Amino acid sequence: MHKKAKQILKDANVDAVVLKTSPSCVDPGFFYFSGILPGVLNNNAILLSARKKPLLLRTVLDTKINVEGLRIKTVKRRKQVEETLNKELSGKRIGINEQRYTVDSLKRLKKSLPGKRFVDISKYLSQAREIKEPWEISRISKAAKITEKALNELSQIFKKGITERQLALKLEFLLRERSKDDVAFSPIVANARNSSFPHHFPSERKIKKGVVLVDCGAKVKGYCADLTRMFSVGKPSKKESALYETVVEAKRRGQELSVEGAIPCNVFKQVSDFLKRNAGQALIHGLGHGLGMETHDSPPGFLRDIKQPLKAGMVLTVEPAVYGKGFGVRIEDDIVVGKRKCKALSTAPKQLIPLR
């Protein structure tokens, strides 16, 4: 069994762990501990216990799923899932991920397995994925390279009269084609005033003079990248160039501080104060977040209240931003925390990128 699964059984003091995934409630832990590559699965579950090989319960819709090292049972009806669980679960304390159960399915699970005690182990599951193994870093790194390359080619896709949505679609096509996987999330393309809204949804408006904020990420074998680049249609104004350079410097400072032992809330405060002094606005969102199987993975990242120190092998984004009245600037790169310094998986340019 996965050594991290063994650790969870011990730390959470549970006899077994049941991780379930469905289209409406995807649990990355299911994929992490089963070794199955992420995809849309219908109510599959994995059972981890100390004495036996992990057991995969797959429905008749997903019989293609097959991974070495797993015992496999195919179930036809939901009732069979519960019967199998009843037979397989020898202990009393069962660990589940309460963050990935709907209220409805949790009720059903508890009702069908009376006599068991369900323990929420979401905290331990997140902790297990905080520090990335080298093979995970290599996937994130590949995803970042693909994303960076596609963004570098954006001026080749860009045409006069193209809308935000069309540009976002073309970018998504490039990412999916090259990564041979899903995208981490639907790309954001935000021109001019739209760039002052952090989560702008690409509109039908044609891209005109001004800055263009593009936030996107490829996925490689289930691992995400998340980058934001700033472009300029036409010659940027002095205000636009100056704000861009301030945010570049904020990002540089954030990365410089991202070493093992650093306290995330302190890094957040230093960069936020720098932006307040130099651009007149403190950070309105975190300076960055953990990155992995999910776009927002563990650790939680550079938030104003996170005190747990960074550790080598954590992968995070660094994304300082200033959202002004007429336009906004966000620059985002991905990093791996190291003992003495961080390793950048991507590098934003020092100036706004021309689009024409």
| Chain positions contacting Mn ion, by CB under 5 A | 226, 317
Nearer to Mn ion, 278 or 295 (CB): 295
Query: What is the closest distance, in whole angstroms, from the C-beta atom of residue 242 to Mn ion in the complex?
Result: 24
CB of residue 234 to Mn ion, shortest distance in Å: 27
Q: 59 is written with which tokens?
A: 């429905």
Q: Provide the minimum distance between the beta carbon of 319 and Mn ion in the complex, in angstroms, as a whole number.
A: 5
Nearer to Mn ion, 45 or 224 (CB): 224
Nearer to Mn ion, 41 or 342 (CB): 342
Amino acid at 136: E
Closest-by-Cβ residue to Mn ion is 226
Cis peptide leading into residue 349 (ω within 30°): no
Q: Do residues 163 and 47 touch, judged by C-beta distance below 8 A?
A: no
Under 8 Å between Cβ of 93 and 15: yes
Pick between residue 226 and residue 294 the one whose CB is nearest to Mn ion: 226
Nearer to Mn ion, 34 or 317 (CB): 317
Q: Which is nearer to Mn ion, 226 or 297 (CB)?
A: 226
117-120, strands of its sheet edge to edge: 71-75, 55-59, 44-49, 16-21, 93-96, 117-120
For residue 44, count CB atoms less than 10 angstroms from its CB and return exposed for 0-12, middle for 13-18, buried for 19 or more.
buried
**In the complex, minimum distance from the CB of residue 198 to Mn ion, in angstroms, rounded to a whole number:** 10
> Among 231, 232, 215, 203, which Cα is nearest to 171's?
215
CB of 40 to Mn ion, least distance (A): 24
Smallest gap from Cβ 321 to Mn ion, in A, equals 10
Residue with Cβ nearer Mn ion (95 or 290): 290
Nearest approach, Cβ of residue 289 and Mn ion (Å): 6
Pair type for strands 219-220 and 223-224? antiparallel
Q: How far is CA 197 from CA 165, 189, 204, 281, 295, in A?
A: 16, 11, 16, 14, 19
Token pair in block for residue 54: 């992990």
